Amino acid sequence: MHELSVFLMCHNRPVEATIAYKSIKNQTLGKSKFNIIISDNSSTCDGIDKNTISGNDTYIRRNPSLDVITHHRKIISEVKSRYF
């Protein structure tokens, strides 16, 4: 478990979510490592391309999709790292 988790929240924008994921993946924190958790709250069948996800990163598809406040609360309840 890393000390930092980065959550990528997305909803019905698979292309933008994939671009954002790749951007997060290219970040560095010195020698620190971090987990990336993609929380896909899309109401359509077009989610992020799962072939893009690598390493120990996590993809969670919310089904059924949640309202924005519930989505935030759900993510907060799932945090396991010290920082997020």
Listing from the earlier edge strand, what are the strands of the sheet with 34-40?
Answer: 4-10, 34-40, 58-61
pTM listed for this prediction: 0.87
Confidence (pLDDT) at 27:
85
Task: Give the chain's residues under pLDDT 50.
Answer: none
Contact 43, 72 (CB under 8 A): no
Strand residue runs (E) in 1-84: 4-10, 34-40, 58-61
